[in-house]
Each structure stands twice: as structure tokens, then as C-alpha cells.
Amino acid sequence: MREKYTLVTGLWDIKRSSLGDGWNRSFEEHYLTQFKKLLELDCNIIIYGDEELKKFVEKNRKDKPYMFIGRDIEWFKQEFYDQIQLIRTDPKWYNQAPWLKDSTQAKLEMYNPLVMSKMFLLNDATHYGDFENYFWIDAGLTHTVHIGLLEQIEKLPKKINRFTFICFPYKANNEIHGFSYPEINKYTNNEDINLVARGGFFGGPKHSINEANGHYHGLLTDTLKERYMGTEESIFSIMLFSKPQSYDFFRIEENGLLYKFFENLQQDKALREKLPGYNLVEQQKVGLYVIGFNSPKQFDTLVKSIKKYDKYMFRDTEKYLLNNSIDRSTDKEYTKLCKKYDFTQIKKDNIGICGGRQFIAEHFNKTNLDYYYFFEDDMFFYNGDDKTCNLGFPRKVENIHDKVLTISQIEKLDFIKLNFTEFFGDNSKQWAWNNLPNDKQKTFFPYSKNQPYTLFKNIKSLGVPYALGEVYYCNWPQLVSRVGNTKMFLELKWEYPYEQTWMSHFFHLTREDKLKGAVLLATPTLHDRFDHYDKEIRREN
């Protein structure tokens, strides 16, 4: 089992003791003293440093788990080093504010090359070990945060599912840590930066770090090229405001001291936030519905695939099994699995696949849920080695639950299909055409004698690419909204529903601009009925 998290840190002597009053700190008396306290934490730590620091760690970490990665101070003289030196020695830059010319980022050659590399060091650390979460922590953080509070980090993995910052309110005048204001806002689509993201502690799930690192690198490249510079915290703040759908944050007090975050963790008061207007996914109540038939093994395999593919989809949904079985010998095992996986079991006596689909729509309508996933028990998440499906679409979509919910809410979708490639075909062709009456085929597709290609109107991306347009309906894995559920299954009902009937009717609604669907440009699930049953007992309704 993967361990929940590791801390990542590093320490180098950048000669801060040479600075004037208010800015100087002794490497030995201040930083090594505080770092020694940090080494007392009984958790995994990945540590960067030079050979002298390695000896210090070996002496003080002893039998606690750690990995040391050797990097001396020269390592930081890389891509951005020369640009940083040009800016920090430019009077136009350091005269922006009275305090700036004596600051660490102005006076010390290696200060910004180091602090602006924290994100790169965190990203590099994800290639060592296989932890669920990686968090950067400053080596001297115990100066303001008691070691006992830092032990509360173990609670953090249960509270996050994205890359996460800690932020404090900040009212800028003409700069943020040396980065010109309001010019900084041109990198955020003119959103006013009124929170600053701290550089002393940040991180998140492993899969989120590479994406955040790419975003950070791009912003650092662009801003330094235009001769704007603050510290890593300036870039972190731009990240939060320029892609608010990608990042969460915890709020602390205006003094910016991180102890408050860890104190809130200790007292179970830490509240994960998003910027106003993007606090979407956390507010939604989501159901997960599965139709099962005569095979606890199929159900068990499906649930295991969900847990492995995206633990948040499993963790953050209200789960229901529609047990459609007629083989009563399976009842005991189904009940056992539902208890194990926290599913509410609803027993029916083979009301069919589409009959079951209709029942689920009506059941959902009576709940207080906002969205629901629909799965048949033979449509698993793919956890194999192939990176793409036969059409070249990605098999793996990291954090798919969060992404499809975000897409659904931002686009105001009625439904979104999780798969582009399906068992009998794919979404490049318009399968609804096959189920339209002849006169409607001619009306909707006057120039098509054969099944036409699907008309997609937009291709977009919010962490995963997706297509909007005339997306046909089928019973493959999907997320449906409350409004969409009403339009699709409640406003017009059939006594004997069929998938083909729904496909035709929903296409009519789409053409009338009454139904909005989307499909991921990905293929995260696959069809696998390994536990077969007699075709004579298969029913549609």
C-alpha cells in the first residue's frame, strides 16, 4: 500500500548572516538549530543539500526514515540565474519600495535562485519513492511553528485532492514582494490578487504536482523575461488566481504566520477553500449508482477499479447498488460487499438494464444529490499498462472525479460521458442516426446516406480535453446533473424503455438546444463481462 505522504525540504548556506539588522540570520545558530528540530518528525522526509548537510542529517535523523539527495549551491545557477541577477541589481526594480533594496531577494545572489526552485525540487522529489502526497516544508519552519503542531500534517491527506497552498490576505500598493502591482494582475486575466500564497509549506497529491510545476515554470519564464520579479510567493499567487479551478488553499491570518494553519489542523478547523466563483466541486453532493446482475464478482471488480483509479470518486460519493439479480444464492455476498464498500443496496427482480436505468433516474430525483454517476457492473476503470486506447486517447485521467465535476459545472452540462471509445464503436460517428426514424434522418442529415460523423462544436480542456456538441446518449459510464436527469428521464417516460429510444429522443432534444452533453477525449473505462449469464434472462426492461 502506498504511504500517504512525504515531506520534502532542503537547506543551504546562502550567507544571510552578512545582511544588515532585521534581515540577517546565522546559518549555524538559526537555520541548523531549527532544522534539527524538524528532523525530529517521525515521518518520511526527502532532503536536499550538500555534503556537509548530509553529515548533519546522518547525525541527527538517525533511525527515522529519510532520503538524502545531494545538490550543492551551484545547482541553482541554472536557467533563471542570470535573469534574476540582472533584475535584483537594477535600481528601477529595487527602488520600487523603501524596504526592497536591503531585502534578501535584492542583496543575496542565491536567495531567489533558491526559493524560486522549491517547486522544481518538489517536482523532482515525485520521482523518488511512490507516496500519495508530497509537501514542501521550509527547513527553518520550526522557528514559527512548534514541532508538535507540525505533527498534525498526518491529517492533511484526508482533507485535500488537489495541489494546495496556504494563503493570507494582502492589500498591495505598488508591489507584492517586489513584483510590480498592479502589473502582476495582467497574468491573472486581470483578477486582483488579494491573497498571497506562502512558500513555507505547499504541495498535494503526486499527480497534481507535475501539472503545477509546468504552470509555475511557464509563469516564471514569462515574468522574468518581462523583468518582473518578486519571490516564489508572487508566482504562487499568480498561479492561484490565473487557474483557480486547479488549486485549493487554506486561509490564515493577515500576519501570514503558518502556525495558524497547523493549529487549525490540530483542532479540525482547517477549511479548504477555492476562490469565489470556483468553490464548486466541494459544494456538490454526488451519487454513484451501479446496476448489478447475478455476479458479486463483477460488482467487486468494478468497485476495486474505482478505488484504484480515483480514490476521491469512491470517497466523496453517496453509493447505491441496484441489485437486479434473480439468483438468490448471490444475495449474501452482495450484502457483504455492500457493507464492506458502504453501498446502500436496493433489490429488484430483474427489471432490465434500461428498466434499472430508469429506476435509478427516479430514485436520484428523490434524493438531495446534485449529480450522479451511472455504471453497469461490467464497465470497469482501466488500470492496465496501456497508455492509450486503440484510437490514441489516454487511458489514465488523473483525478477524474474532480475534473468531470468541474467541467460539468462550468459548462452547465446535462450529462458528460466518460469514454470516447466504447465497445461497439466510438464517438466519432453519430450513433443516434441509426435509431432515428427515416424521415428524421433525412431532416437532420439531408446529405448523409450512411452513418455520419459526430458534429462537435467545441474542443476544450480543464485538466482533461473534452468535446461539446451533438454527443449521443448510451448507457456507458456517465455523470448526469439534476437538471439533465429531469430532461432525459422524467419529463417523458416510456413504459418499456430502450437505449435506442433514448438515443433518438435525446438527439432531438440536442438539436432543439434543450439538452447539452459532452464527452471526454479519453477512454478511462473498458467493457469486461467475465462472469457470463444465459442470454435468455437478459432483459432491457
Q: Which domain holds residue 341?
A: 282-537
Q: Are residues 255 and 380 in the same domain?
A: no
The whole-number pLDDT of residue 278 equals 61
The whole-number pLDDT of residue 2 equals 59
The whole-number pLDDT of residue 409 equals 86
Strands 5-10 and 45-49: parallel
The whole-number pLDDT of residue 540 equals 75
Which residue blocks in 45-158 are alpha helix, DSSP H? 51-61, 81-88, 91-94, 104-107, 111-115, 118-125, 147-150
CATH of the domain at 187: 3.90.550
Residues 234-266 have pLDDT tens digits of 999 999 999 887 899 999 999 999 999 999 999
Q: Are residues 234 and 293 in the same domain?
A: no
The whole-number pLDDT of residue 303 equals 97
Among 228, 244, 273, give the residue marking a domain's end: 273
Q: Are residues 289 and 269 in the same domain?
A: no
Q: Are residues 249 and 366 in the same domain?
A: no
Task: Please give the model's pTM, rounded to 2 decimal places.
Answer: 0.65
**Contact at 8 Å (CB) between 287 and 371?**
yes
Among 230, 251, 273, give the residue marking a domain's end: 273
Q: Are residues 199 and 314 in the same domain?
A: no
Q: What is the pLDDT along the chain (541 residues), one digit of tens a residue?
A: 458 999 999 999 999 999 888 898 999 999 999 999 999 999 999 999 999 999 999 999 988 999 999 999 999 999 999 999 999 999 999 999 999 999 999 999 999 999 999 999 999 999 998 899 999 999 999 999 999 999 999 999 988 888 999 999 999 889 999 999 999 999 997 789 999 999 999 999 998 999 999 999 999 999 999 999 999 999 999 999 998 878 999 999 999 999 999 999 999 999 888 887 565 555 678 999 999 999 999 999 999 999 999 988 998 899 999 999 999 999 999 999 999 999 999 999 889 999 999 999 999 999 999 999 999 999 999 999 999 999 999 999 988 998 999 899 889 999 999 999 988 889 999 999 999 999 999 999 998 889 999 999 999 998 899 999 999 999 999 999 999 999 999 999 998 999 999 999 999 999 999 999 999 999 999 999 998 888 777 777 7
The whole-number pLDDT of residue 282 equals 54
Type of residue numbered 434: N
Q: Are residues 236 and 312 in the same domain?
A: no
What is the torsional sign of CA 171, 9, 45, 246? Answer: positive
Among 273, 298, 329, give the residue marking a domain's end: 273
- One DSSP character per residue, 333-382 reads HHHHHHHHHTEEEEE-S---HHHHHHHHHHHHHTSS-SEEEEEETTEEEP
Q: Are residues 121 and 218 in the same domain?
A: yes
- Cα gap 420→417, rounded to integer Å: 8
The domain tally of the chain equals: 2
Q: Are residues 322 and 195 in the same domain?
A: no
Q: Are residues 204 and 321 in the same domain?
A: no
